[in-house]
Amino acid sequence: MRIVVQRVRRACVRVDGQTASAIGQGLLVYVAIGQEDEAPDLEYGVEKVRHLRVFTDKAGKMNLDVVEVGGQVLAVSAFTVYADARKGRRPSFDAAAPIDRARQLFEDFCHMLSETGVTVYRGIFRAKMEVDAVNDGPICVLLDSQRRF
């Protein structure tokens, strides 16, 4: 499982010109499910997103997590986070999970994350989405459940 976490002031997803989901302050997370991902990968992702201390405290240090600042999460399924562009000019997505498996694990991830006390909104799986975000920082963090980076 790979996740790109962005700290945002606000973010929204539109499909066919209609707002599907929107958040204020919080985290925009692009979630990619890999072919080998299982429950421990989801648990890793949930734990990291829930407790990632990327919000500043009164002293100006990144010391608070999304719940501590009253933030929300906008989760967007994005198989392209598994892109491998090391060869040639066209990325390969072979490491991404098949559609049905990815859909189920993405839904499981969102459900598990919401059970930790985070308000979770979602993009529309497999839809052509427009994602608007006002990054705060910008702060971007890459997570990989296999700890390859």
33, part of any domain: yes
Residue 14's pLDDT is what?
98
Question: Which residue range forms the structural domain that includes residue 72?
Answer: 2-144
Q: Which amino acid is at 77?
A: S
What is the number of domains present in the chain? Answer: 1
Q: What is the pLDDT of residues 97-141, one digit of tens each?
A: 999 999 999 999 999 999 999 999 999 999 999 999 999 999 999
Residue 114 lies in a domain: yes
At which residue do the structure tokens 């992702």 appear?
A: 45
CA-based nearest residue to 71, from 110, 114, 26 = 26
- Domain-embedded: residue 116: yes
Determine the Cα–Cα distance for residues 50 and 29; give it in Å rounded to an integer: 11
Q: Is residue 11 part of a domain?
A: yes
Q: How do strand 18-23 and strand 62-64 relate by DSSP bridges?
A: unpaired
Supply the pTM of this predicted model. 0.95
- Domain assignment present for residue 149? The answer is no
What CATH number is associated with residue 91?
Answer: 3.50.80.10
Is residue 148 very low, low, confident or very high in pLDDT (cuts 50, 70, 90)? confident
